[in-house]
Amino acid sequence: MNKHWQQFWIFLFILTGITACKKETKQEVIETKTAQKQAVDYATGFTISTFSNYTLIEVTDAFPGTENVYRYALVEDTGALPTHNDTASLTSLLQENKIDAIVKVPLKSIVVTSTTHIPSLEMLGVDHTLTGFPNLDYISSAKTRKRIESGKIKELGQNEAINTEVAIDLNPDAVIGFGVDGQNTSLNSLEKAGIPVLYNGDWVEKSPLGKAEWIKFFGALYGKSKEADSIFKSIETEYLTTKKLAQEVSQRPTVLSGAMYKDVWYLPHGESWPAQLIEDAGGDYLWKDSKGTGSIGLSIESVLDKGQNADFWIAPGQFGSYQTLAEAHAVYTQFEAFKNKKLYTFTTKKGATGGMLYYELAPNRPDLVLKDLVYYLHPELLPNYQPYFYTPFED
């Protein structure tokens, strides 16, 4: 399996709803009467509460199916722990084992483990603090690739098996991890070495704007909450403006998505964020009524029966041309969207080492994804727009 297919199926697996063992290992919710909560309007997986002498991030959806709440205390790097002036003082929380990590902020160095974390660092202007990443080839950003080429960002192996020796030598102020079940031995080893490890659950979010709002998580780590709020507000405004424009259309074209892998056709569930983007773009996604937030595997017969006459075919796996699609399986040529040349893909936009720009940036910039889809589904609405991620299939 080549790297592009491997990257696609890793991404597909991440989108799939995973049922994990539900086990609460910490005590119940912390008393936050004296806290000032930062506004988090779309994301459901984290909260930020500011006390008089520290900030508390609570990650409630680090991975699917978990009931664990991960709590991170952000303390200004003054060399002293906070006092216990607050109702839920940090001292008390430590004694009751309610804190998973104490992080001195603003961060001066960081290791992240998902390409979706990198755009937040760049938008906040703190990408110079990134010192390590697992599998550098997956990074698409031209700006960050320059730092890789100059040796400022170290290779850490694979996310599920980070080179802990290299990571410990880097001695970052924090490692931002993600996981499908919370059982990552490499991250556990880093914690034992005294390096704060924080889970980021941006990929678990169901809504496009919910994913993008995780920039506020990084804003808190760098003392840039106001900047993060402003950046997200701009993304939100663009998204909602475009959505409103698309909702006024009189006709919604039907939309098919996905492609086959080993004779199983994988496409987004009706409650997933790709499905929501199609809906918000004024499209009629044919599987919009299916329940679930990940991907659904179907037989080719069922997809052909329901989607053969679809007006558009969006994101057909890793394919990028009509020829490669036809060569992969003759059944693809039976779809009207294939015959009418109405296929669109994000696979043509790659970084210098083959990483997909869409996987990295799209969750952070749903406004651009939405505009791309509106441009193709309803070109009259955005006549002067230049698509950012999606391109038409090659002949």
Q: Which of 184, 211, 236 is the last residue of a domain?
A: 236
Instruction: Give 66-76 pLDDT, tens digit per residue.
Output: 889 999 999 98
> Is the per-residue pLDDT at 13 higher than 50?
no
Say whether both 53 and 175 belong to one domain.
Answer: yes
Q: Which of 188, 207, 236 is the last residue of a domain?
A: 236
Contacts of 164 (CB under 8 A, 6+ apart): 186, 189, 190, 193
Tokens 């403006």 correspond to 241
In the prediction, which pLDDT does 27 show? 34
88 vs 210, residue with greater confidence: 210
4 assigned to some structural domain: no
Say whether both 253 and 203 belong to one domain.
Answer: no
In the prediction, which pLDDT does 22 show? 33
241 assigned to some structural domain: no
Which one-letter DSSP state was computed for residue 393?
P
Say whether both 253 and 306 belong to one domain.
Answer: yes
26 assigned to some structural domain: no
Instruction: Calculate helix-pair angle for 273-280, 366-377, nearest 10 degrees.
Output: 50
Chain mean pLDDT for the chain: 88
pTM exceeds 0.85, yes or no:
yes
Band of residue 35 on the pLDDT scale cut at 50, 70, 90: confident
Q: Which of 213, 236, 259 is the last residue of a domain?
A: 236
Concatenate the DSSP letters of all residues of 19-68 into one string. Answer: -------S-SPPP-TT-EEPP-SS--SEEEEE-SS-EEEEES-SSTT---
> Is the per-residue pLDDT at 96 higher than 70?
no
Say whether both 42 and 140 belong to one domain.
Answer: yes
- What percent of the chain is modeled with pLDDT above 70? 86
Phi, psi of 191 (to 5 degrees): -60, -40
* Least confident range of 21-25, 29-33, 118-122: 21-25
Helix (H) or strand (E) holding 279: helix 273-280
* Least confident range of 27-31, 177-181, 283-287: 27-31
Say whether both 36 and 97 belong to one domain.
Answer: yes
Which tokens belong to 197? Answer: 């490890």
103 assigned to some structural domain: yes
CA terminus-to-terminus distance, the chain: 25
Residue 135 Cα distances to 36, 111, 152, 361, angstroms: 38, 12, 15, 17
Q: Which of 385, 351, 352 is nearest to 368 (CA)?
A: 385
In the prediction, which pLDDT does 78 show? 63
Buried/exposed 234-245: b ≥16 CB within 10 Å, e otherwise: ebbebbeebbeb
Give the CATH number of the domain where residue 330 resides: 3.40.50.1980
Phi, psi of 28 (to 5 degrees): -70, 180
In the prediction, which pLDDT does 87 show? 37
The HSE-up count of residue 226 (CA atoms within 13 Å, CB side) is 0
Range of the domain at 319: 249-392
Say whether both 144 and 262 belong to one domain.
Answer: no
Say whether both 253 and 229 belong to one domain.
Answer: no
Tokens 């430590």 correspond to 94
Say whether both 278 and 199 belong to one domain.
Answer: no
The domain total for the chain is: 2
Band of residue 239 on the pLDDT scale cut at 50, 70, 90: very high
> Is the per-residue pLDDT at 30 higher than 80?
no
Say whether both 213 and 64 belong to one domain.
Answer: yes
Which one-letter DSSP state was computed for residue 80?
S
Angle of CA points 253, 258, 260, to nearest 5°? 140
Distance of CA 229 to the CA centre of its chain: 18
Band of residue 91 on the pLDDT scale cut at 50, 70, 90: low
20 assigned to some structural domain: no
